[in-house]
Structure 1
Amino acid sequence: MIEPVTLAIPKGRILDEVLPMLAQVGIVPEAAFSDPASRALMFATSDPGVRIIRVRAFDVATFVAHGAAQVGVVGSDVLMEFDYSELYAPVDLDVGHCRLSVAEPVALAAGDDPREWSHVRVATKYPNITRRHFEARGVQAECVKLNGAMEIAPVLGLADRIVDLVSSGRTLVENGLAEVEVIAQVSARLIVNRAAFKTRSGQIAALIDGFRMAGAQRAA
């Protein structure tokens, strides 16, 4: 019996938009997937050749890069942060749209010009992207790594600025911050382990084609 392909999908903001696409591809998770009382992390699907694991967004790329999962769905922000050579991202799913931005307190932003920065202290869960972005502009970036609650870092004096995902911008406004610079536009991507694509090309190519068709139908 052929081992099912393991598809890693993220908890959080992307999941609700990805589930209808999965259904279009013919992959419907078992009932336990939608059960809030369930603590399971691996689920069977309506396709016996595919099983799903649900993990944190940052961990999706790690599971796929190391071959524990063969396929995954993850935001392009995660791919930019980790830049795993083992990953191939064949499909932009055109969901999960947001942007990765620099923000700072409104009072500071009122008289601030990012073009004049020479050194910044930034709270972020994206230290690699942040350093690369500022280094390209000749700005020294001191990054304070946080996994959440970025918006309160300036209030508490941990850092003057933050780099984080922004969608509507409401969270920034409610915490007295203003978006001052966009680093990158972000969307969800289908990712594949390069080695698995060679050894299980038939199964994985069918999934890639299915997601491409689902994306085309969604865009039509």
Structure 2
Amino acid sequence: MSTPIVIAVPKGRILSEALPLMALAGIVPEAGFGDENDRRLRFATNRPDVSIIRVRAFDVATFVAHGAAQLGIVGSDVLLEFDYSEVYAPVDLGIGHCRISVAEPVDLAATDDPASWSHVRVATKYPNLTRQHFEARGVQAECVKLNGAMELAPTLGLSSRIVDLVSSGRTLKDNGLVEVEVIAHVSARLIVNRAAFKTREDIAPLIEAFRAAVA
């Protein structure tokens, strides 16, 4: 009998939207999955051949790329940042919509022209994506890697601009920042380990179940 398929799902904003889709695809986590006091990271489901691990969003792609999980749900921002060749993303799940944007203080934006940039210092958790974006425009980007609290960087003089996920824009506004450029629009994707997809016959039906759930 094959080892169970492991699906990596992200903690945070995407998870609440992903759970109804997973249910439509026939996968329901055990009761403990929804218990905030349950510190386990791996959970059984209603299917004996499928289990779920709950990890940080940035780690979903890593678990799948290295074959520790066969499938995962992750934002396209993570795929753009890591660009793992071992990962195949067959289904846009149509959830988790937001965008990756460049933002700067309101007073700077009032006189700033992004078309005139030749060098920028940017705080971001997406250094690879950010450099590639600016290099394509002929702009040299100096990236300061942060894992959170990006909005503080301009206020405290760490960088003049940030690159981060934006949904409503409320967090930017509350911290005196404004979007000046959209790098990419983001949505959640179902991702698959390429080697597992080729060698395991039980993965393709799961992909089709998710595709049908989205439809």
Same fold (TM over 0.5): yes
1:204 paired residue number: 203
Tell me, which stretches of 5 or more residues in structure 1 are unaligned? none
3-state SS of paired residue (1:153): helix
1:170 paired residue number: 170
2:145 paired residue number: 145
Post-superposition offset of 1:2: 2.1
CA distance in structure 1 between the partners assigned to 2:203 and 2:126 by the alignment: 30
Identity over aligned residues, as a percent?
Answer: 76
Tell me, which stretches of 5 or more residues in structure 2 are unaligned? none
Asked if 1:25 is matched to 2:25, the reply is yes
2:212 paired residue number: 213
Letter in 2 for 1:97: H
Letter in 1 for 2:213: A
2:36 paired residue number: 36
Structure 1 residue ranges (4+ consecutive) displaced by more than 4 angstroms after TM superposition: none
Letter in 1 for 2:130: T
Letter in 2 for 1:212: R
Q: Once the two structures are superposed, what CA deviation does each residue of 1:60-89 show, in whole Å capped at 9, x if it has no partner?
A: 000000000000000000000000000000
TM-score (norm: length of structure 1): 0.97
Post-superposition offset of 1:203: 1.2
2:188 paired residue number: 188
CA RMSD of aligned residues (A): 0.5
1:92 paired residue number: 92
1:65 paired residue number: 65
Post-superposition offset of 1:189: 0.3
3-state SS of paired residue (1:89): strand
Aligned length: 215
3-state SS of paired residue (2:6): strand
CA distance in structure 1 between the partners assigned to 2:203 and 2:101 by the alignment: 34
2:156 paired residue number: 156
CA distance in structure 2 between the partners assigned to 1:92 and 1:110 by the alignment: 37
Asked if 1:101 is matched to 2:96, the reply is no
CA distance in structure 2 between the partners assigned to 1:169 and 1:47 by the alignment: 39
